[in-house]
Amino acid sequence: MHKNTNVLVKAIRFATLAAVAAPATVMAGGFSLNEQSASQMGVANAGAAANPENATTVFFNPAGMSQLSGTNISFGAAVLDIDAEAKHAEARRNVPGVNVPVNGNHGGDIADLAVLPNFYLTHEVNESIDVGFGIHAPYGLAADYDDNFEGRYFADKTELKAIAFTPSLSVNNGKGLSMGVGLNIMYAEGRLTKFQDVSAVAFRQGAQAGAQQAVTQLLTANPNATPQQIAAAQQAGAQAGSQQALNNLPADPYADIEGDDIGVTFRVGFLYELDERTQFGLSAQTGTELKLKGDAEISNFPVPGNPGATTTLTEKVEVPLAIPEAITFGVRHHLTDEVTLLAGATYARWGRFEELDINSREGDSGQISQVTGRTGDEPVTHITEKWKNTWQVNVGGIWQATPEWAFKAGYAWDESPVDQYLTARIPSSDRHWLTLGTQWKDAQSGWAVDVAVGTLLFKDDPKFTERNYQHSNPDQVAELAPGIEDPSYYTAEYELSAWSAAIEVSKAF
């Protein structure tokens, strides 16, 4: 018993520490993470709601705990390596009437290697009731561009890390029908950074200073200058002053926003055993809205009226983040004693994620709000997202080659929720998910080990042009002044590829 307790404690410690420290991936469906179990990954999560192989059913369908005897633990990790690089990219600054390109590189590979750990536990209380618990990383997002990235005024670092603690309960009627419920208590933290484009401000200030200087010089040399001469001097001085300002732009200010929150979602599941060969599963999760509260900081910001001087601005902010509802269907059919077929589908309401706004918690009195002129309900920063609801469809199979060894394969079609408003923070497209897996199981000792590998094949290289849009009218380009559109943009095509591997160790006591 003492040895079993040590195994349990070490597994929980591993999952908790790794989940807090691990960066997430940039290319999951939306920002949800598919890789929650090596045993299910081997079949591309096909039929996961109807195939409770081990304690990971706590995540996929808590009703599946009713088909596990005694006490079960599963723990493991997935490793994801994603290559995402921009090509054919270009960008321009937000100076009206002047084509000022942004110099720099394509940003490099924006996604690092990511590790996603998990731990699950179930316990049979009696013939009708089972309880369970899970620690896992349900959502994540990570992208990091080079500092000299051409699109640095739209994106630099993007991070979302989440860890969920999931107590669960299942009951069964002894006649093939089970019901389960789970509570996801989720801690999430996020970070958004980018460089600030102050070229429009510098252009305007340079034009004003140049015009004033030219008129002063003209009147000093010719006190009787005509209005036409004064107007011509103003125009020439403004052109020279604005160009000089653009040639002598200061180092870019840097915006850094961080926040965290705790949210709760609920999961309910059903499992129905039609006969000894076929069963169906259904699992549904509620949505929620996280409000990541923290601080915004803009460093190296020019001091108005004091050329060359900079300061650091701070303001308390919050970032609303929609977590979608989702429903998963699954079926498992034992075609023969050796061959099992699996299928499933998941519908996720990503359409809830319409915008990414940074809202002030200090009203109009915040330092950043005062400098930028933000007032009322207007956000400090707005990004139009307008995601769409998505389907993921999965099929898979298991071949039980020997009593100890099983081999798995799976395929999933995974829709991207990002449609019209692609951004540099989340370049994405629809994809095919191909997986292979194997399982070794020793029935006498209760130990089992699953290993799986997978690759993502993206349907298209995403192409887009990102602009700044209005908060009050998200389909309209933002304005620098009434009637003057913000001309800045970032346009690019991205090359995407990804592979993943996972291992899961399970023990039945």
Using alpha carbons, select from 338, 277, 390 the residue that is nearest to residue 51. 277
Q: In whole angstroms, what is the distance from residue 187 CA to residue 202 CA?
A: 41
> What is the reported pLDDT for 230?
86
- Residue 304 has a pLDDT of 67
Ramachandran angles phi, psi of 106, nearest 5°: -85, 0
Q: What is the C-alpha separation between 98 and 234, in angstroms, rounded?
A: 18
Contact criterion met (CB below 8 Å) for 410 and 381: no
DSSP letter for each residue of 80-132: EEEEEEEEEEEEE---TTS--BPP-B--------EEEEEEEEEEE-SSSEEEE
pLDDT score for 307: 60
Asked if 488 and 468 count as a contact pair (C-beta separation under 8 A), the reply is: yes
Rg (CA), the chain: 28
Residue 19 has a pLDDT of 45
Provide the pLDDT for residue 1: 44
Q: 499 pairs with which residues across the strands?
A: 81, 455
Pairing state between β 278-285 and 254-273: antiparallel
Give the pLDDT of the chain (509 residues) as one tens digit per residue: 444 445 444 444 444 444 443 333 444 467 888 889 999 999 999 999 999 999 999 999 999 999 999 999 999 999 988 888 888 889 988 776 666 888 899 988 888 888 889 999 999 999 999 999 999 999 988 889 998 999 999 999 999 999 999 999 999 998 899 999 999 999 999 999 999 887 777 777 778 888 888 888 888 888 888 888 888 888 888 888 877 777 777 788 999 999 999 999 999 999 999 999 999 999 999 999 999 999 999 998 877 666 667 889 999 999 999 999 999 999 999 999 999 999 999 999 999 998 889 999 998 888 888 887 778 888 888 888 889 999 999 999 999 999 999 999 999 999 999 877 888 888 888 999 999 999 999 988 989 999 999 999 998 888 888 888 887 777 788 876 677 778 888 999 998 888 999 999 999 99
Structure tokens at 296: 């915004």
Place of tokens 């699109």: 151
Please check whether residue 131 is in contact with residue 230, taking contact to mean a CB–CB distance below 8 angstroms.
no
Write the single-letter amino acid at 267. Answer: R
Return the percent helix, strand and coil in the chain, to nearest 5: 20, 50, 35
Per-residue tokens: 143? 């992208």
> CA–CA distance from 369 to each of 356, 436, 488 (Å)?
18, 52, 21
Reduce the DSSP state of residue 241 to 3 states and report it: helix
Q: In one letter, which amino acid is 34?
A: N
Quickly tell me which residue has 């084509």 as its tokens: 99
User: Phi and psi of 62, rounded to 5°?
Assistant: -60, -20
pLDDT value at position 38?
96
The pLDDT value recorded for residue 481 is 66
Determine the residue type at 41. Answer: M
Which domains are assigned to the chain? 2-198+250-508 (2.40.160.60)
Is the Cβ–Cβ distance between 374 and 368 less than 8 Å? yes
